[in-house]
Amino acid sequence: MLTSIIVILCAYLLGSISSAVIVGRTLGTADPRTQGSGNPGATNMLRIGGKKAGAMTLAGDMLKGLLAVLIARAIGMGAEVQALAAGAAFLGHLFPIFFGFKGGKGVATALGALLGLQWSVGLLVIATWLAMAALFRYSSLAALVAAASAPFYMWWLRPEPTVIAAAVLMALLLYWRHRSNIRNLLSGAEGRIGDK
């Protein structure tokens, strides 16, 4: 029990590391929390810092979710603790203790966690995001559709209650974090991929 708690706590702390802020400071770009959309995530870093900053932020955020699950698995934790570690890393990104509990929207961290829980689900979610982004050029819409699909992919490929519950929780929180984007999509005010 103690080991499980430590793993989950460490997953949350790992998720609390803001890739966007670190990348911004490393590359000398603007703080993503004060520029663009104000969201410390890959899409905003792409807008304000370019492709390199966006790619580095995406990789860093995905790695947090992936590592949280892989570390839990490596030390012998079962599906339940792996799912909790995935959720903890995701919550750490949304509510980072190191940054006043004001984090990003969690798309990349959720994707990394899904890849860790079931790599085939993660690949399907990536494919869904890419297809939606190519068709409509809205990052937020692609994220929302991909998030909604994740629990169904998990039910199909790894039908275990705890990992399905983790996918559902992350999807629900992603929708909640994207509520302003949803309003903008409905009103036609949402920025497209590539817009400054």
Closest CA to 57 of 92, 14, 24: 24
| pLDDT tens digits, 162-184 | 999 999 999 999 999 999 999 99
The pTM assigned to this predicted structure is 0.94
C-alpha distance from residue 124 to each of 31, 51, 71, 128, 170 (Å): 32, 24, 23, 6, 16
Could you give the 3-state DSSP secondary structure of residue 69? helix
Q: How far is CA 84 from CA 12, 100, 112, 137, 169, in A?
A: 10, 22, 14, 33, 11
In the numeric block, the tokens 């810092």 are attached to 49
The residue extents of the domains of the chain are: 2-187
Share of the chain above pLDDT 90, in %: 84
62-121 pLDDT per residue, tens: 999 999 999 999 999 999 999 999 999 999 999 999 999 989 999 999 999 999 999 999
Joined together, the tokens standing for residue 51 give 């492709």
